A = this chain, B = another copy of it.
Amino acid sequence: MSRNKYPQLTRRKIIQAAAEEFLAKGFTAASVDNILQKTGLTKGALYYHFGTKAELGYAVVEEVFEGLVREEWLEPLTGVDDPLTRLGELIAGICEKPSPEEIALGCPITNLALEMSAVDEGFRRRINWVYDRWRRGLARALRLGQTKGTVREDVDAVAVATFLVGSVSGCRGLAKNAQSQEILALAGGVLRDYLETLRPPSGPAAGPPPGGPTFKTYRKTGC
Scoring A residues 158 to 201 as 1 if CB is less than 8 Å from chain B, else 0, what string do you get? Answer: 11101101111111111011110001001101110010010000
User: Chain B contacts of A28 at CB under 8 A?
Assistant: 26, 28-29
Partner of A118 from the list B24, B119, B169 (CB cut-off 8 Å) is B24
**B118 and A173: CB pair below 8 A?**
no
User: Chain B contacts of A156 at CB under 8 A?
Assistant: 186, 189-190
Number of interface residues of A (CB under 8 A): 48
From A106, which residue of chain B is reached at the shortest CB distance? B114
**B170 and A183: CB pair below 8 A?**
no
Partner of A159 from the list B159, B172, B186 (CB cut-off 8 Å) is B186
Measured between C-beta atoms, what is the minimum distance from A42 to chain B in Å? Answer: 12
Q: Does A52 contact B (CB under 8 A)?
A: no
**A187 and B174: CB pair below 8 A?**
no
Q: Does A73 contact B (CB under 8 A)?
A: no
**A166 and B159: CB pair below 8 A?**
no
Partner of A190 from the list B114, B117, B160 (CB cut-off 8 Å) is B160
Bound: A3/B113 CA distance, A: 40
Partner of A166 from the list B26, B111, B160, B167 (CB cut-off 8 Å) is B167
Bound: A176/B113 CA distance, A: 8
Known pairs A131-B174, A158-B186; list 7 more (Cβ under 8 Å): A28-B29, A113-B173, A114-B114, A115-B115, A159-B187, A163-B171, A173-B173
8 contacts across the A-B interface (CB closer than 8 A): A104-B118, A124-B177, A127-B177, A159-B186, A162-B190, A163-B171, A163-B186, A166-B167
Q: Which 4 interchain pairs have the tightest Cβ spacing?
A: A170-B170, A166-B171, A163-B190, A166-B170
